[in-house]
C-alpha cells in the first residue's frame, strides 16, 4: 500500500465507505433495542476504530486519522466549553433563586392549557433575539421544564416545545452562527437566505403552534384527572419556593444580564460565565453561602432538602459533573464523524448520492436528506451544513437553480434536525441540560424528539416543495445581493 502524506485522500469505494457506518449503526441499534441500554459511547468508539481500519487500508497513517478526529473536536470545543459553563450556571441560578423565581411567577402567569404553546412562542422570541438556541435551552428552557413539572406535564412534552421554539428562533436569526454558516458555504446573502426560509418556517411554526394549543389541554387531562390534586401540587411547589428562596427582582438580574449580553453579540461562553458569576454573587448576598459552597455547587450541583421529594428532584441539579455523560458522548460522536470525514467515507457516500440525482426534485430532496444523514452519522451540526453545502452547490448552478434552495435545505436538515438525534451535539445538549438522560429500560425521555413538531415539519415541508416545485427559486429570480458571500458569525456555539 502507498502511504499518503497529503491532506487529501481519494475517497474509498462506496461499498467500503459504508462499512463503518452500517456496522456502527448496527451496534447502536443492538445496544439500545436488544440490550435495552442507551449508553452509545462505546459503540461510537468502536465505530471510530472500524473507520480507522478503513483509513489504514486506504493508505492513511494513524496520525492522519487522529488529526481528522482532533480537527472536528477542536471545532466543537466551544460547544463542549458551553456545556461545562451551563452546568456551572444552572447550579448557581438555582442557588441564587433565579430559576425558582422564574418557576414561581410562571406558575402564576401561564395558564396550564396554553403552557406548551406559550413555551414554544417564548423560546422562539428569546432565541430569535439572541441568536442562540443553546443559551435559550439552558436558561429559559430549564425554567419552563420546572413549570411544566409543577403542572404535571411530562418533561418530554415541555422539552419538545422548548426545542421547537429555541432551534427555530436560532434558524431564522441573523445573529446565529449556523444561519451565517449556511449562507457562507453556499455563497448566498444571509438576509436573502433568511427570507427564503420563510415558506417552510411559517407553515411549520403555525402547524406546531396549533398542535401545542390543541394538545396542551389533552396532556393536562392525561397528567391528572383531579383538578384539586393539580392545584394542591402547584400550591405546594409555590410554597416551597417561597419558604426556601428570596423571590423578586434581584434573582432575575443574572438572566437579564445574559440576555442583554447575547443581544449585543457577546460570545456565549463569556456571557454565560458572567451569568454564573452574577448568580454566585446573588446567592452569596441572599443566603450567606461561602466560596467553598459556590465551588461545590458549580462542580457537583446544587443540593437542598425541602421535605418534598418532588421539589428536591426539581431543584437538585446542575454542576459540571451533571454534564460529563453528555460531554463524553459528544466527544465520541464527533471523533467518529471526524474520522469518517478524514477517510473520505462521507465524501464517497455524498458523491454516490449526487451521481444518482436527476433533476431539481431529486437534488433538493437529497440535499435535505444528506444533511439529516450527516447529522445522524457524524454527530456534528456544522459538518451537516458545511459538507453538503460545499458539494451540492455546483449541481444547482448546472440546473439553473438558485443556491438559496440549497442554503434552506441544509438549514432544515442540519440546524433543525441536530437536537432530535440524542448523540448529536445538539441532542446531547438538550438531554443533559433539561434532565432527559435516559434510564435503563425507560426511553420515554426520547419522546421529546417527535414532539418537537416544528423541527421535523420544516424539512418535511421542504421535501414537499422540492417535489412540487413550489417556492423553488431559479437563478434569474435571485435578488442581486443574494450572490454575495457572507462570513460566518464569530460565535461558534448555537
For the stretch 57-75, pLDDT in tens is 999 999 999 999 998 888 7
Percent of the chain with pLDDT over 90: 47
Same-domain check for residues 22 and 124: no
pLDDT in tens, 285-295: 999 899 999 99
The answer to whether residues 311 and 339 belong to one domain is no
Same structural domain, 442 and 396:
yes
Rounded to the nearest integer, the mean pLDDT of the chain is 87
Determine, yes or no, domain membership for 120: yes
> Could you say which of 287, 308, 323 is where a domain stops?
323
Residue 152, phi then psi, degrees to nearest 5: 85, 15
Say how far apart CA 77 and CA 81 lie, in whole Å.
6
Do 287 and 301 belong to one domain?
A: yes
pLDDT level of residue 342 (50, 70, 90 thresholds):
very high
- The residue among 467, 452, 456, 390 whose CA lies nearest residue 417 is 456
pLDDT at position 149 is 86
Q: Flag whether 7 is in a domain.
A: no
Nearest-5° Cα angle at 432, 179 to 87: 90
438 is a domain residue: yes
Q: Are residues 250 and 378 in the same domain?
A: no
DSSP 320: G
CA dihedral for 60, 64, 69, 71, sign (positive or negative): negative
Give residue 309's Cα distance to chain centre: 30
**Is residue 492 in a domain?**
no
| Among 272, 304, 323, residue at a domain's last position | 323
Say if residue 218's pLDDT is above 90.
no
What is the tens place of the pLDDT at every residue in 419-469? 999 888 889 889 888 888 777 667 888 899 999 999 999 999 999 999 999
When mean pLDDT is compared across 124-128, 218-222, 374-378, the lowest value belongs to: 218-222
Confidence class of residue 157 from pLDDT cuts 50, 70 and 90?
very high
Over the stretch 355-414, which tens digit does the pLDDT of each residue have? 888 899 999 999 999 999 999 888 888 889 988 988 899 999 999 999 999 999 999 999
User: Is the model's pLDDT at 132 over the cut of 90?
Assistant: no
Same domain assignment for residues 298 and 223 = yes
- Percent of the chain at pLDDT > 70 equals 92
Are residues 51 and 127 part of one domain? no
User: In whole angstroms, what is the distance from residue 472 CA to residue 458 CA?
Assistant: 15
Considering the domain architecture, whether residues 21 and 98 belong to the same structural domain is answered as no
Residue 2 belongs to some domain of the structure: no
- In this structure, is residue 1 part of a structural domain? no
What's the pLDDT tens digit per position in 75-115?
778 878 888 998 999 999 999 999 899 888 888 888 888 99
Is the pLDDT assigned to residue 30 strictly greater than 80?
yes
* Type and span of the H or E element at 432: helix 425-433
Closest by CA to 52, choosing from 72, 40, 39, 67, is: 67
Q: Examine the fold and report which residue of 296, 323, 350 is the final residue of a domain before the chain moves on.
A: 323
Neighbour-count burial for 297-332, b at 16+ CB within 10 Å, e otherwise: bbeebbbeebebeebeebbbbbbbebbebbbbbbbb
User: What average pLDDT does range 266-293 have in this prediction?
Assistant: 93
Q: Is residue 310 domain-shared with residue 414, that is, in the same domain?
A: no
Confidence of residue 493 (pLDDT cuts 50, 70, 90): low
Span 346-350, average pLDDT? 90
d(CA 171, CA 131): 8
In total, how many domains does the chain have? 2
pLDDT of residue 479: 60
Q: Does any domain span residue 8?
A: no
Rounded to an integer, the average pLDDT of 173-198 is: 89
395 in a domain, yes or no? yes
> 296 and 358: one domain?
no
Question: Does 69 lie in the same domain as 81?
Answer: no
196 and 57, same domain (yes or no): no
What's the mean pLDDT in 250-275?
Answer: 89
123 has pLDDT over 80: yes
Given a cut of 50, is residue 492 above it in pLDDT?
no
CA distance 189 to 197: 12
Alpha carbon distance 492, 124 (integer Å): 20
Where is 408: in which H helix or E strand?
Answer: helix 404-413
Q: Residue 345 is part of which domain span?
A: 14-74+325-483
Most confident listed range (136-145, 172-181, 394-403, 441-450): 394-403
Q: Report the length, in residues, of the chain.
A: 494
Amino acid at each position: 500500500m502507498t502511504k499518503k502524506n497529503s491532506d487529501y485522500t481519494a475517497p474509498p469505494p462506496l461499498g467500503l465507505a459504508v462499512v463503518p457506518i452500517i456496522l456502527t449503526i448496527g451496534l447502536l441499534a443492538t445496544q439500545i433495542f436488544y440490550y435495552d441500554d442507551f449508553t452509545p459511547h462505546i459503540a461510537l468508539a468502536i465505530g471510530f476504530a472500524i473507520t480507522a481500519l478503513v483509513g489504514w487500508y486506504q493508505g492513511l497513517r494513524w496520525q492522519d486519522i487522529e488529526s481528522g478526529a482532533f480537527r472536528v473536536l477542536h471545532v466543537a470545543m466551544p460547544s463542549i466549553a458551553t456545556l461545562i459553563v451551563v452546568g456551572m450556571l444552572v447550579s448557581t441560578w438555582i442557588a441564587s433563586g433565579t430559576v425558582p423565581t422564574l418557576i414561581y411567577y410562571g406558575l402564576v402567569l401561564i395558564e396550564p392549557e396554553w403552557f406548551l404553546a406559550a413555551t414554544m412562542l417564548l423560546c422562539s422570541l428569546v432565541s430569535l433575539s439572541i441568536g442562540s438556541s443553546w443559551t435559550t435551552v439552558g436558561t429559559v428552557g430549564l425554567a419552563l421544564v420546572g413549570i411544566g413539572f409543577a403542572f404535571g406535564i411530562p418533561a418530554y412534552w415541555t422539552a419538545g416545545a422548548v426545542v421547537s421554539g429555541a432551534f427555530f428562533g436560532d434558524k431564522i436569526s441573523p445573529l446565529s452562527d449556523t444561519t451565517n454558516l449556511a449562507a457562507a458555504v453556499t455563497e448566498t446573502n444571509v438576509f436573502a437566505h433568511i427570507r427564503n426560509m420563510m415558506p417552510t418556517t411559517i407553515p411549520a411554526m403555525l402547524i406546531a403552534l396549533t398542535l401545542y394549543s390543541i394538545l396542551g389541554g389533552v396532556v393536562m387531562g392525561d397528567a391528572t384527572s383531579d383538578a384539586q390534586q393539580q392545584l394542591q401540587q402547584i400550591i405546594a411547589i409555590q410554597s416551597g419556593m417561597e419558604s426556601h428562596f428570596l423571590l423578586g427582582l434581584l434573582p432575575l438580574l443574572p438572566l437579564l444580564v445574559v440576555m442583554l449580553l447575547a443581544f449585543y453579540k457577546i460570545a456565549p461562553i463569556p456571557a454565560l460565565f458572567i451569568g454564573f458569576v452574577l448568580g454566585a454573587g446573588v446567592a452569596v448576598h441572599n443566603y450567606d453561602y461561602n466560596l467553598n459552597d459556590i465551588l461545590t455547587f458549580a462542580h457537583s450541583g446544587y443540593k437542598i432538602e425541602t421535605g418534598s421529594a418532588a421539589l428536591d428532584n426539581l431543584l437538585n441539579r446542575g454542576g459540571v459533573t451533571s454534564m460529563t455523560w453528555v460531554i463524553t458522548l459528544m466527544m465520541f460522536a464527533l471523533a467518529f464523524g471526524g474520522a469518517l470525514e478524514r477517510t473520505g467515507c462521507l465524501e464517497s457516500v455524498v458523491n454516490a448520492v449526487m451521481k444518482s440525482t436527476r433533476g431539481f426534485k431529486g437534488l433538493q430532496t437529497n440535499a435535505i436528506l444528506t444533511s439529516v444523514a450527516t447529522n445522524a452519522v457524524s454527530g456534528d451540526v456544522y459538518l451537516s451544513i458545511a459538507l453538503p453545502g460545499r458539494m451540492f452547490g455546483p449541481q444547482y448552478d448546472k440546473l439553473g437553480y438558485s443556491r438559496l434552495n440549497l442554503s434552506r435545505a441544509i438549514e432544515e436538515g442540519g440546524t433543525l434536525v441536530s437536537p432530535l438525534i440524542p448523540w448529536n451535539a445538539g441532542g446531547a445538549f438538550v438531554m443533559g441540560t433539561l434532565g432527559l438522560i435516559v434510564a435503563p429500560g425507560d426511553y420515554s425521555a426520547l419522546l421529546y424528539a417527535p414532539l418537537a413538531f416544528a423541527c421535523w415539519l420544516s424539512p418535511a415541508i421542504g421535501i414537499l416543495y422540492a417535489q412540487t416545485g413550489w417556492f423553488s427559486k431559479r437563478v434569474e429570480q435571485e435578488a442581486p445581493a443574494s450572490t454575495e458571500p457572507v462570513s460566518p458569525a464569530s460565535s461558534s456555539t448555537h
